Structure 1
Amino acid sequence: MDPCYNSLIVKADNFLWLLKDKALEITKEAIEEIENGFIIRTFSDVRDIRLELQNFTKNIESVMGQEISLEFKEAQEKNQDWIEKYYHSVSPLEYGKFYIHPTWYANKKEKINIIIDPALAFGSGHHGSTFGCIKMLDSLALENKKILDVGCGSGILSILAKKCKAEVWSCDTDSIAVESTQANMLKNNVTIDTIWQGSLEMIKEKEGYFDVVVANILADVLIALPLDRFVKKGGVLILSGILEKYESKVLDKFKNLKKLNGETIEEWVTLAFNKN
């Protein structure tokens, strides 16, 4: 074992979750979350990682029209039980009847346990948008309902619905997300009914089929997709991944639906609609 490893501390004042997801994609290693940032530990040269993150940040700024203050700190440290330290830094999440935790935490007998290890695909439950979706789903009776999870990421919402005895369909345009969802299915001993890489154009024949459609994606993508078409009459559409300043745009897109609920968690808005 190498006596030392390289560490890169990354801090940002905006779009931190996108940077974290990119860091996971670049390194293919677990990272440790800290306040306003994260730590990458690797035996690779962190200068290349830093350059990729800087270029990615420029792309985010261009797309979002917002500046991001980015800070880096590089160091070389002794290779001592940092993996164990990392394990202790990842905390479980408990809400309502759900207990979401990594594999190194024990199940809770009185809860619906959902096992999600930190990985390349976004979605451990802690992010405001994911947590908002969990809260909305917890308020619904999902048993025997048909659920569509668009942009499934880690599969956390799909697995949650499946453990509530729903029929679940899941998709993501990212192959890593689909693979992550499939891996997490096995960890949770569930089988999602239909999963595919791609988007809604592949299931056009299922318009009006689903009792609940949930999509935790960025606002511009939500607006571009015909998500409401796939909700049956009387069904529910749950949308998240919406920064507060874009909420009005999303509300305008889906003004044909009745707004049931809305909640903001750490500047991320989650909305629920009913299709009459």
Structure 2
Amino acid sequence: MSNIIYIGYYFKVAPLQPAVEILIAELGYAGFESFVENEDGATAYIQKEEWNANILDDVQILKSDEFEITYEFNEIEQTNWNEEWEKNFNPIIVDNACSVRAPFHEKPDTIYDIIIEPKMSFGTGHHETTHMMIQHILKTDLKDKSVLDMGCGTGVLAILAEMKGAKPLDAVDYDNWCYLNSLENVERNNAEHITVIEGDASALKGKSYDVIIANINRNILLQDMATYAACLNKNGMLFLSGFYAEDIPLITAECEKHLLKFEEKLERNNWVSLKFLN
């Protein structure tokens, strides 16, 4: 594996809410791919090769008079990440049914217990979008259903889907770090039916699924919706997240263009997750 270097930005934010959520959303659109919230604000990461000196120019909240936001940044070697996330990563429990934790955390009393080492990957369950996707999966019958986890990050959603009886499953991410981390987490959780794929929507050619889970961001979802619709089996389910409540009309219109029918909405701190049926 190549020695990927990340740039870490450390933001101090006052007042914290809703500024941190807005900041993370805008940083995502700017190209940042991983985030850790903390009591002072948030840390955001971007691969050095994707970074430029003007990366924050379009992050509008930094120009707002409503919030005081300061930051500093530096380079982070890949090998330093374990120490970084270990300081910030606490176990989470969703709906008293699913826990997401690190190997060094005590095992909780939940039906589904997922053990991950997220490294630089997105998808620990702490972010609202991952949390809501877990909620969707928990209340969906997935027994023997084929599932796609698109933009899989750590692979946590695919792992939970397999725990709920889904098979076979594909977990896809274009980022090499996420791909390798998902492979590790799939093995760590003894998942036997998940194929991890490094790639984007072009990797889905000729594939079909009963359920598609796509937790990415608004622009990628809009760009790839036609591909998702083409891959979704009759009476299939599409779960989408990675965008705000104000993005719902755009997302819904694109889904309806491909004959996907809105079924359900979850909302958490202005982030939303939508369910559509084919």
Aligned partners of 1:18, 1:124: CA distance in 2, in Å?
20
Superimposed CA distance per residue, residues 128-177 of structure 1 (whole angstroms, 9 cap, x where no aligned partner):
11111111111101121110011111111111112222121111111111
Is contact 2:146–2:210 with CA below 8 Å preserved after alignment? yes
Query: Are residue 56 (structure 1) and residue 59 (structure 2) matched?
Result: no
Query: 1:274 is aligned with what amino acid?
Result: L
Q: Secondary structure at the match of 1:272?
A: strand
Is contact 1:9–1:73 with CA below 8 Å preserved after alignment? yes
**1:229 alignment counterpart:** 230
**1:36 alignment counterpart:** 41
Q: Secondary structure at the match of 1:214?
A: strand
Query: 1:204 is aligned with what amino acid?
Result: K
Is contact 1:159–1:192 with CA below 8 Å preserved after alignment? no
**2:216 alignment counterpart:** 217
Query: Are residue 257 (structure 1) and residue 257 (structure 2) matched?
Result: no
**1:191 alignment counterpart:** 192
Superimposed CA distance per residue, residues 162-204 of structure 1 (whole angstroms, 9 cap, x where no aligned partner):
2222121111111111111111112222235322111232232
CA gap 1:265/1:109 in 2 versus in 1, 3 angstroms: closer
Normalising by structure 2, what TM-score?
0.75
CA gap 1:117/1:194 in 2 versus in 1, 3 angstroms: closer
**1:71 alignment counterpart:** 70
Query: 1:145 is aligned with what amino acid?
Result: K
Normalising by structure 1, what TM-score?
0.75
CA gap 1:215/1:102 in 2 versus in 1, 3 angstroms: same
Aligned partners of 1:102, 1:224: CA distance in 2, in Å?
34
- Superposition pairs for residues 146-225 of structure 1, below 5 Å? 146-167=146-167, 168-206=169-207, 209-225=208-224
CA gap 1:237/1:23 in 2 versus in 1, 3 angstroms: closer
Larger Rg over CA atoms:
1
Q: Secondary structure at the match of 1:166?
A: coil
Query: 1:212 is aligned with what amino acid?
Result: V
> RMSD of the TM alignment (CA)?
3.1
Aligned partners of 1:121, 1:200: CA distance in 2, in Å?
19
Q: Which runs of 4+ in 1 moved over 4 A?
A: 17-25, 83-89
**1:15 alignment counterpart:** 23
